[in-house]
Structure 1
Amino acid sequence: MYKLIAIDIDGTLMNDRKEITKEVNDAIQAAKAKGVKVVICTGRPIAGVRSIIEELKLNDEDDFVVTFNGALVQNTYSKDVESQITLNYNDLKEIHDLSLKLNSPLHFFDTENLYTPNRKISTYTIHEAHINKIPLNYLPIDEVPKDMLISKVMYIDEPERLNATIANIPEFFWDKYTFVKSTPFFLEILDPRVSKGNAIKQLAEKLSIKQEEVICIGDGENDLSMIEYAGCGVAMANAVSVVKEVAQFQTLSNNENGVAYAIEKLVLGT
């Protein structure tokens, strides 16, 4: 019997209109009623998931959420931080210096805010702030507080330009940080210990849930680590090929209530 379901948001939980359908919500509530722990696991900041947590009623005393691709795990009832793994100022400075060499804009987060060091603010930064309903601040790198806890940094650009940036990142950078391409225009850079898979593994162990009792559902490259960890990794029909290749189960697309279908087949037996 599965005891924990970890679900990505964009391209998975939500359809392309950024809606959680009644079918998906009903399936999640039915899984909860069976005693299954449902955990949102997303690259979004915590501010970008609070309304979703409330909508899905995932805020009981022993409920958790994974944000920033695993950098922050938080109790949704008490707001207590279970784990937080961040970058520091020196990391940000190094990543920013490389962005200048590669001519790639970036933005970065602390826990509650989005920052850009670019006077000409990227449309992708504006998009990020809007989607997550998070404050956007202009902050030059040399004015960043040295003690700021930086959840993640993102290289942002048109897909073709971002691909060129990725191709020119030095090899030692790949060893020093975790990189996840969450969309064709976002490359996320995190502490090397951070991944969705590591966060779900640690959370399952805290809850005394075995690996084989875990379902993880996702569509993007940043979901790969949790799909690989899960007892049953579930790929959306709209998932990238690398996710489909490692998943044990493929469900319908995010526009076809794919999360509901997976829960019905794997958990509810309908």
Structure 2
Amino acid sequence: MSIKLVAIDIDGTLLNSAGQLTTGVKAALQSAKKKGVRIVLCTGRPLPGVKEYLNTLDLLSADDYVITYNGSLVQNVATQHTVFSASLTKNDYLKVNYMAQKLGLHFHVSGVDAIFTANRDISPYTVHESTLVHMPIKYRTSDEMVKNEYDMIKMMMIDEPEILDHAITQLPLDFKEQYNIVKSAPFYLEILHKGANKGIALAKLAEHLNIQQAEVMAIGDNENDMAMLEYAGVGVAMQNAVDKTKAVADYITTASNDEDGVKEAIEKFS
């Protein structure tokens, strides 16, 4: 069965280590699109952090869709009609913020158009996220977050990799069972709605588009990509992927994201 939809992670997959979309990858995606293959960016980033690449790849029509916030939101690019969403609540905020404080970690919340943090000493990794996804940082106390109506789509515990890795081992089982918790970078632990991940989002979109599971390919590199690789008819891990992601893949590219690995996958399967 031929591939009709390709879901592609952005950081570490679509982009090289310099954060660039190479001419080789761009040409391969444009060629696949001309053949009628749907190209869907599937990322932990919010929409403002994806628009540059949607524009570059000409994925701006009413036939184009994007999956953001690690599967918490699926939207039509042109109309921003929501196909699927799974946000977090004020009660979730209190639980996750408390856990971050208990573990001594920095913490922030990603909304639709801003990043919120109650940390007076803002983590440099929060600043990095703000720059990466083109969203402002807004300082809000815990009380303000609870009293006001803010969209809270995903929450992130943040710190130096060795500090974060140790803290992850201290997370109570009952806390982990309440959320979908994924590591998207050595310094980012993302807390999502239990019913949100890239695999669920991709399945919802495929159903919406009347595309069979076997007709879907997914390409990724990190732990937050595992669910979509497991769902897809063809799950592709980049050569630079973490071992956990490689373990669930149907195919591992011989080329990394610095060597046009996405181009290799597109040309092999589409």
TM-score by length of 1: 0.97
Per the TM alignment, residue 265 of structure 1 is displaced from its structure 2 partner at its CA by 1.2
% identity of equivalent residues: 46
CA distance in 2, matches of 1:89, 1:155: 17
Amino acid at match of 1:149: D
CA distance in 2, matches of 1:206, 1:26: 27
Give the aligned partner of residue 206 of structure 1: 208
1:153 aligned to which of 145, 152, 155: 155
Map 1:4-153 → 2, pairs under 5 A: 4-144=5-145, 145-153=147-155
Amino acid at match of 1:108: V
Amino acid at match of 1:219: D
CA distance in 2, matches of 1:100, 1:209: 44
SS in 2 for 1:262: helix
Whether the 8 Å contact between 1:88 and 1:147 is mirrored in structure 2 is no
1:235 aligned to which of 211, 223, 237: 237
SS in 2 for 1:226: helix
- Runs of 5+ consecutive residues of structure 1 not aligned to the other structure: none
Give the aligned partner of residue 218 of structure 1: 220
SS in 2 for 1:154: strand
Give the aligned partner of residue 253 of structure 1: 256
Deviations 1:108-150 (A, max 9, x none): 1111111111010100000000111111111111111443221
**Are 2:265 and 1:262 aligned?**
yes
Per the TM alignment, residue 62 of structure 1 is displaced from its structure 2 partner at its CA by 1.4
Whether the 8 Å contact between 1:88 and 1:148 is mirrored in structure 2 is no
Structure 1 runs (4+) greater than 2 angstroms displaced: 145-149
Whether the 8 Å contact between 2:84 and 2:204 is mirrored in structure 1 is no
CA distance in 1, matches of 2:218, 2:114: 28
Q: Which moved more, 1:192-201 or 1:258-267?
A: 258-267
CA distance in 2, matches of 1:243, 1:158: 22
Whether the 8 Å contact between 2:83 and 2:208 is mirrored in structure 1 is no
SS in 1 for 2:84: strand
CA distance in 2, matches of 1:94, 1:245: 32
CA distance in 2, matches of 1:146, 1:59: 33
- Runs of 5+ consecutive residues of structure 2 not aligned to the other structure: none
Amino acid at match of 2:77: T
Give the aligned partner of residue 168 of structure 1: 170
CA distance in 2, matches of 1:198, 1:48: 21
Amino acid at match of 1:176: Q
Whether the 8 Å contact between 1:182 and 1:221 is mirrored in structure 2 is yes
Q: What is the aligned residue count? A: 267
SS in 2 for 1:5: strand
CA distance in 2, matches of 1:119, 1:246: 40
Deviations 1:49-70 (A, max 9, x none): 0111111111111110000000
